[in-house]
Amino acid sequence: MHGSFWHWLQHHLVPCPFKWLTGIDCPGCGFQRSFMALLQGDIQKSVELYPATIPLLLLFAVAFWHKKFAPERGSTIFKILFFLTGSIIAISYILKMYRLHVTI
């Protein structure tokens, strides 16, 4: 992608209303920066910024596929990905809040 587009995009991320109101990161804070890193091919930085980005994108893709092509069948893969992604979000958020509390 063009350099000026990246520069513009990085400076126009959607602010988190929860963080704006409370000053505390929400469980989704970091997703946009992580997604940007992933688009730039930096998987390690993406995972460091928000560990659930790749599983979350995979979950969206599976949900779309399931809804579009197999709505009548229950999807075990979808259920597993949903639980896994939710667990990653919860655990990484707990660790982030713990580290924040310890460093204060």
For the segment 51-87, what is each residue's pLDDT rounded down to a tens digit? 999 999 999 998 888 888 876 776 788 889 999 999 9
Q: Using alpha carbons only, how large is the chain's radius of gyration in Å?
A: 16
pTM of the model as a whole: 0.80
Taking every pair of C-alpha atoms in the chain, what is the biggest distance, in angstroms?
51
Share of the chain above pLDDT 90, in %: 49
Q: List the domain range (segments joined by +) for residue 40.
A: 3-103
What is the rounded CA–CA span in Å between residue 55 and residue 89? 10
Considering 7-16, 29-38, 65-74, 95-104, the range whose residues carry the highest mean pLDDT is 29-38
Band (pLDDT 50/70/90 cuts) for residue 3 is: low
Closest to 60 in 3D by CA, of 82, 86, 90, 36 = 82
- Total of domains in the chain: 1
What is the rounded CA–CA span in Å between residue 70 and residue 6? 37
Classify 70 as helix, strand or coil: coil
Name the amino acid, one letter, at 6.
W
